């Protein structure tokens, strides 16, 4: 939910630019595939080839032993004009070739501001750019046909597609007399073009079910999930929002917006009735709160605890912060890690942060603008390859100080794991570390170091990391 650029007037018909700010079943967890990932040949920032693997192959993405990587396929205020679905479609093959296993899309249905809306002010959940309402037929992102083409193309590339779901609040209703407030409220959604999920004042707080729930947002009508009618339309009936998105539009999972605004039981019920991968935006740095929500929602959650600790570590010269508690340490299968998103982008020293999330446990997310516009794509592709092929097993932190951080992934099911060495200092650093490997040659799979050391019989070895950068070590195979 965008925390800025919000202008709401409930005294007139127009509400301006909308807000933005699991135990998963194994067959729905994009990280549980135990098959081989593609190898990608890329170059280092100084032109030398990255050391990634023994060759290259082509074809559709298949998750490697390290699991999958999620691409956030948008940013705030992507170009208007209905071209975004086609823009993303044109990138899917390259993303798949790089090892991206899923793409998260912005809210896809028609919203209050029609062709100008980022979708976080939903009006008609079943209008994907095929009805003339709210001033346009297409959404900001394009037509329903183009969206369906994107999803079809992603599936052909063996990628999943996650829908951003905004069910805390609605916008764009007509005025009606409301006996629970004694005023007129913008809660009449009886004339929506799709004819599906018509709503009135009793479907929003305050109403016969009470005065409020966990939280409202920005003055928008606050949807009442306690109402069985609302529950039925969101996840119960065969043509409910969730089941329509999954069975008709073919979305594979859900990113739930602003879950602070309603109880975790809502997401739990959605997941139980609809299925698919799910992650909640619970904007809270308290890992206890994140874990509580994830367990009660039966869902993954964005790891805001790790996000703020990475800012402290990589921007403020304190890598010891990475010793602190995070959601991925509590339950990696319910932690979605990230370096930036459409709402918040506070980490400046991003490449070490990506090296961190792509070598550690959790489900890592790549932000569109970081990948396509702002950072070195080849270096990110190298990290994605390392994640998919080497980042396996539990994590052991081997050494930390203000400038240095070394951790080991302990390997799993025959995969050797890795050692990651992050160096925030202005000079090369070296450390003796205990590895997973006895009397075997290792190498830095980033290509940053040219060393090819052999581990001792007791598994110890000296490794190095370049200044203001990182190295990632595993068996030379």
In whole angstroms, give the CA distance from residue 466 to residue 428. Answer: 5
**Cα distances (angstroms) measured from residue 1 to each of 8, 106, 164, 258, 342:** 14, 11, 11, 6, 9
403, 429 contact by CB (below 8 A)? yes
**How far is residue 339's CA from residue 454's CA, in Å, rounded to a whole number?**
34
- Measured between alpha carbons, how far apart are the two ends of the chain, in Å? 45
Residues designated catalytic? 257, 281
Q: 130 labelled as ligand-binding?
A: no
Full DSSP string of 303-316 = -HHHHHHHHHHHHT
Helix or strand holding residue 176 (H, E): strand 174-178
Count of helix runs (H) and strand runs (E) in the chain: 12, 21
User: Which CA distances in Å does 260 have to 75, 257, 287, 436, 455?
Assistant: 22, 9, 15, 42, 49
Q: What is the DSSP letter of 372?
A: I
- Cα(475)–Cα(414) distance, integer angstroms: 12
Which distant-in-sequence residues (6+ apart) come within 8 Å of 204 by Cβ? 170, 185, 187, 221, 222, 223, 224
Asked if 241 contacts 125 with a C-beta cutoff of 8 angstroms, the reply is: yes
Cβ neighbours around 283 below 10 Å, total: 16
Query: Which own/partner contact pairs does 323-330 have at CB distance under 8 Å and 24+ positions apart?
Result: 323/397, 323/400, 325/287, 326/287, 327/287, 327/290, 327/291, 327/294, 327/301, 327/303, 327/362, 328/303, 328/360, 328/361, 328/362, 329/287, 329/361, 329/395, 330/287, 330/290, 330/291
Structure tokens at 472: 């990632």
Strands 253-256 and 277-280: parallel
Whole-number Å distance between alpha carbons of 70 and 255:
12
Return phi, psi of residue 95, to 5°: -60, -45
238 is in an annotated binding site: yes
168 is in an annotated binding site: yes
Known binding-site residue numbers for Ca(2+)? 168, 232, 238
Binding residue positions: 168, 232, 238
């Amino acid at each position: 939910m965008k925390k800025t650029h919000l202008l709401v007037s409930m005294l007139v018909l127009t509400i301006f630019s909308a807000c933005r700010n699991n135990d998963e079943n194994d067959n729905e967890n994009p990280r549980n595939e135990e098959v081989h990932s593609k190898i990608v040949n890329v170059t280092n920032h100084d032109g030398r080839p990255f050391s990634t693997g023994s060759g290259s192959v082509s074809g559709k993405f298949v998750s490697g032993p390290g699991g999958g990587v999620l691409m956030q396929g948008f940013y705030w205020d992507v170009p208007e004009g209905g071209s975004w679905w086609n823009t993303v479609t044109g990138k899917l093959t390259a993303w798949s070739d790089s090892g991206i296993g899923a793409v998260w899309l912005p809210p896809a249905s028609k919203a209050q501001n029609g062709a100008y809306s980022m979708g976080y002010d939903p009006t008609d959940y079943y209008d994907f750019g095929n009805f003339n309402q709210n001033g346009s037929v297409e959404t900001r992102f394009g037509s329903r046909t183009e969206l369906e083409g994107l999803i079809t193309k992603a599936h052909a590339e063996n990628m999943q597609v996650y829908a951003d779901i905004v069910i805390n609040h609605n916008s764009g209703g007509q005025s009606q007399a409301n006996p629970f407030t004694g005023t007129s409220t913008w809660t009449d959604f009886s004339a929506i073009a799709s004819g599906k999920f018509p709503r009135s004042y009793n479907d929003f707080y305050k109403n016969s079910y009470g005065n409020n729930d966990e939280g409202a947002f920005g003055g928008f009508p606050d949807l009442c999930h306690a109402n069985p009618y609302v529950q039925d339309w969101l996840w119960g009936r065969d043509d409910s929002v969730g089941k329509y998105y999954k069975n008709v539009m073919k979305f594979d999972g859900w990113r739930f917006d602003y879950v602070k605004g309603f109880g975790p039981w809502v997401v739990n019920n959605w997941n139980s009735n609809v299925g698919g991968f799910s992650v909640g935006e619970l904007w809270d740095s308290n890992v206890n709160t994140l874990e509580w929500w994830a367990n009660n929602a039966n869902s993954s959650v964005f790891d805001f605890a790790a996000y703020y600790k990475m800012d402290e570590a990589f921007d403020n010269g304190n890598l010891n912060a990475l010793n602190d508690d995070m959601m991925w340490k509590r339950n990696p299968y319910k932690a979605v890690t990230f370096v930036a998103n459409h709402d918040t982008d506070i980490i400046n020293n991003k490449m070490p942060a990506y090296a961190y999330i792509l070598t550690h446990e959790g489900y890592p997310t790549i932000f569109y603008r970081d990948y396509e516009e702002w950072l070195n794509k080849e270096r990110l592709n190298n990290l994605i390859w390392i994640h998919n092929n080497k980042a396996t097993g539990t994590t052991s932190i081997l050494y930390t100080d203000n400038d240095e951080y070394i951790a080991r992934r302990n390997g799993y099911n025959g995969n050797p794991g890795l050692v990651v060495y992050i160096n925030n200092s202005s000079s090369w650093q070296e450390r003796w570390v205990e590895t997973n490997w006895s009397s075997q040659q290792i190498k830095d799979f980033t290509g940053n170091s040219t060393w090819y050391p052999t581990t001792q019989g007791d598994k110890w070895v000296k490794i190095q990391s370049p200044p203001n950068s990182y190295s990632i070590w595993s068996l030379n195979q």
